Chains A and B, each alone.
Chain A
Amino acid sequence: MKIVVIGNGMVGYKFCEKLTAKAQSGQFEIVVFGEETRPAYDRVHLSEYFAGKTAEDLTMAGLDWYADRNIKLYLGDPISYIDREQKTVRSHHGITESYDYLVLATGSAAFVPPIPGVEKEGVFIYRTIEDLELMTAYAKKAKTGAVIGGGLLGLEAAKAMIDLGVTNTHVIEFAPRLMPRQIDEAGSNILKAKLEALGLSIHTSKNTSEILGDQFINGMQFSDDTRLDVDMLVISAGIKPRDELAKLAGLETGHRGGIVVNDKLATGDPFIFAIGECALHGGMIYGLVAPGYEMAEVVAANLMGGDKSFTGFDMSTKLKLIGVDVASFGDPFVSHTEGRTIVLEDSMKGVYKRINISTDGKYLLGGVLVGDADAYNMLLQTTKNKVVLPPNPEDVILGARGGSGSEGGAGITSLPDDALICSCESVSKGDICKAVCDGNETMDAIKKCTKAGTGCGGCVPMVKDLINHTLKSQGKYVRNVICEHFNYSRQELYDLVKVHKLMTFDEVLNKLGTGDGCELCKPPVASILASLWNEMILAKGNDTAQDSNDRFLANIQKGGTYSVVPRIPGGEITPEKLIVIGEVAKKYNLYTKITGGQRIDLFGAHVSDLPAIWSELIAAGFESGHAYGKALRTVKSCVGSTWCRFGLHDSVSFAIQIEERYRGLRAPHKLKSAVSGCIRECAEAQSKDFGIIATEKGWNLYVCGNGGSKPQHALLLATDLDSETCIKFIDRFLMFYIKTADPLTRTATWLNKMEGGIDYLRNVVVNDSLGIAEQLEAEMQLLVDNYKCEWKEAVENPEIRKRFSHFVNAPEEKDPSITFEPMREQKKAKEWK
């Protein structure tokens, strides 16, 4: 049987996947035509393109996937004609293929309202990777941007513009509120406030009458006689199903677009189906991916001789905007006659939750969540599965206030086994629990064997809860053991090493582990030993347990050379020292760069030059910057009250004091800090593991912030501290982190996983609820007293110094395979293959 699929978008691809997964080889001959030049990609996560994902990352499956399944794929060649009599299709490039069954998966296009001036340059739509590439190029010269449309996609596009550097971005909505189809007025107001805090300007009840400018857009005119100057515009005013081909073939279409289909997704022609965003079912276009996948499933199953029907689909959504949680599920707007409504509103925190329950109070009908949508999955499942509510239904939104998954864990037990957890891939609770029992005990394993969580990803937290819950109910203790050699978590190991006073990796392994160790357990054990005893990390017996970077006291770079990073506490440096860095760099031919942490990196050092380079730096008064270690990196500072007219205290002096106190401190992961001289926060202290901001009365201490790939704001731990108390609290905080965190866990993740969160941490650090404050301070003091510069010891110790050569049998020779390429008057490492 020969099947032709028109459209290689998300749903067209899913159809091929479902059909080939079920069919015997040779049963179907499949031919696919796609208009875009790329194979199907994940449109739902399109915006992640701006967060660094590449077109390849977004691809659903590469070309070899189609080849492996004998699917003939024509890309960049749309179908322009269907001959229903002959049962053939003809492409734009003139290729003709016959079919037994034809599947239309042509999706939709952005709807562009007929506003005068829409054709100007600088006006974009937001649908394909090409659109994003065009926007990215144009945004470079734009400062002010606007989006027409305040719905799900419009808000995503607006956030994308900010990410592109168009910091002054406006959202223009015709309706009196944002996301009018999904959330109610009170929720919209809170959402508006949240988005404004992100830097967006929101205009509602605004109707654009003209787009101004000659060749390029330069402004927008509104019907209320106001205007706005903008450099670029994205139109996101809704979607228009791609039904032109179907119309041409004489198939029935809706008057507002869409190919009319029945419950089997068949069009008026029994040999032609339509699925995804181009299909009009029961008067509805489903603009979401999950219903499209379900349609693909129905057609694929029926072609295999099954008897499935599509009977409508839940339109619940969760907005993926970074920094703002918004979700709506079930029926968000129930009227008084149909049910009752419970609302929780906290405009201070920016949280709005509304649930609609049946008049008898038994069932959840739907609702809206803004500002905190952690409970989304749980509430959606409660609605879909008609789970009977507790006697005080408000508990379902109040109870979830704490945020973390612990409440969710209790809730999932009440769901029936056939509750659909992953709606993108239609995987039920029963499927997941069974897979866990069969030994798939990690998220990755579950993804592989059930596909749950591989679509929009919204169900991942719930699947994780299910895994843990199922393991627990089997009596398995869920614990993060380090590797096959140690049956302990890092925290347990830390305590045991301390109790037994073990000093070397081999002692630890002999006493507490089995086998010979590996790259998973050696670094954490070495780090524990360093945190406990703060001895020279290259002492005999522990040197080879250090990560390669620690072993050579430098970061290995592309090509096999190392970087040299001297400590510059607080970012303060004298002209004399700057000259020394410059001269060392010249002498050893190093590339120099100012880092984000207010110091200077020297790149491209041969391993055999490291001791000589450091001898010269140490002679000039520098010491190791520990850039290679899981240790304290930098304490950034702003210039503070010594020079800045706003400064309240001397932030530089305090930063130096702190950096010198904690230099060399080994921890489960790297640590960063900063001190700002006033609330203007020029040192960005709130993005650090611990950050300090001057107040009128002292210092505010923030903890557990993070930059990196998953940025997170630090949380306020204590206010208006004097310098001494501030340091005491940091001592306790850091020591508690070092003792209890898993390996390679930053403080932000550590806190996210901590039961009780910041309130618990504050109790331990500030109120000494565990009665260990004194002990923590004493342990920290011991480490501070034991500090020595590792590089100083290394260059002074001939045994250690000897290790810094490339060839053991030709110590004076450098690695001949190292080559550099010139770049902007300096050099760079050769590109690797």
Chain B
Amino acid sequence: MIQENVITWFLACRTTDVPENGGVCVKYHDEQIALFNFSRRGEWYATQNMCPHRMQMALSRGMIGAQNNEPKVACPFHKKTFSLTTGKCLSGDDCGDLKTYPVKVENDLVYIGIEE
């Protein structure tokens, strides 16, 4: 039998708390999670807030966009870009990948899923 990972959903914020096509940082115990409201695509994403390039807590303040239709975020420090779906670094150098989290929206409330 396949062991299914249990996902715990925690309430992050209201949808209106996140700027359209932008991000915010969410605190979950000692973890910092970057939450993005890609309103142009009607999609939500969450990744770790720390940019692996120089270990800066900055991705929630990064600019989001797309590259060949792949949604991505650019770190404000040195513009390294990362896929929002897979977390892979898209800048062609191996500065490391991001951890991603599932997101769901119910009744204008945003929940982030944590694998226990």
Contacts and interface: CB of A to CB of B under 8 A. Distances in A.
Interface string B57-81: 1100111111111011010110101
A552 B64 CA distance: 16
A560 B65 contact: no
Contact of A807 (B19, B21, B25, B67): B25
Interface in B1-58: 12-13, 17-22, 24-27, 32, 35, 38, 40-41, 50, 54-58
B19 A548 contact: no
B6 to A, nearest CB: 22
A810 B56 contact: no
Given A815-B57, A832-B54, A548 B76 contact: yes
A509 B12 CA distance: 30
Q: 9 closest Cβ contacts across the A-B interface?
A: A518-B65, A548-B76, A544-B22, A519-B74, A808-B24, A516-B66, A832-B54, A807-B27, A519-B63
Interface centre among B22, B54, B65, B67 (most CB of A within 10 A): B65
Contacts of A522: 63, 65
B57 to A, nearest CB: 5
A94 interface: no
Nearest to B71: A516
B90 to A, nearest CB: 10
Given A516-B71, A543-B19, A544-B22, A813 B27 contact: yes
Contact of A518 (B20, B54, B56, B67): B67
A833 B54 contact: yes
Nearest to A506: B40
Q: For the side of the interface on A, what is the size category?
A: 35 or more
Given A807-B25, A808-B12, A833-B55, A518 B19 contact: no
A517 B65 contact: yes
A808 B63 contact: no
Nearest to A556: B76
A556 B81 CA distance: 17
A509 B65 CA distance: 12
Question: Would you call the interface of chain A mostly helix, strand, loop, or mixed?
Answer: loop
A126 B13 CA distance: 64
A832 B27 contact: no
A558 B27 CA distance: 21
A540 B16 CA distance: 12
Interface centre among A506, A521, A540, A809 (most CB of B within 10 A): A809
A516 B77 CA distance: 22
Nearest to B37: A544
Contacts of B35: 808
Interface in A521-554: 521-523, 540-541, 543-545, 547-549, 551-552
Contacts of A558: 56
22 contacts: A484-B68, A485-B66, A516-B38, A516-B66, A517-B65, A518-B72, A518-B74, A519-B79, A519-B81, A543-B22, A544-B19, A547-B63, A551-B22, A552-B61, A560-B58, A807-B32, A808-B17, A808-B24, A808-B26, A809-B26, A818-B57, A832-B55
Interface of A: 484-485, 506, 509, 515-523, 540-541, 543-545, 547-549, 551-552, 556, 558-560, 803, 806-810, 813, 815, 817-818, 832-833
A559 B20 contact: no
B27 A544 contact: no
A515 B66 contact: yes
Contacts of B25: 806-808, 815
A587 B34 CA distance: 30
B13 A808 contact: yes
Contact of B76 (A549, A806, A807): A549
Contacts of A516: 38, 40-41, 65-66, 69, 71
Nearest to B65: A518
Nearest to A806: B25
B57 A518 contact: no
B62 A548 contact: yes
Contacts of B12: 808-809
Given A484-B68, A547-B76, A556-B58, 16 more contacts: A509-B40, A515-B66, A516-B71, A518-B65, A519-B79, A519-B81, A522-B63, A543-B19, A544-B63, A548-B62, A803-B19, A808-B12, A808-B18, A808-B26, A809-B26, A818-B57
Contacts of A544: 19-22, 63-64
Interface string B76-91: 1101010000000000
Interface centre among A509, A515, A549, A810 (most CB of B within 10 A): A515
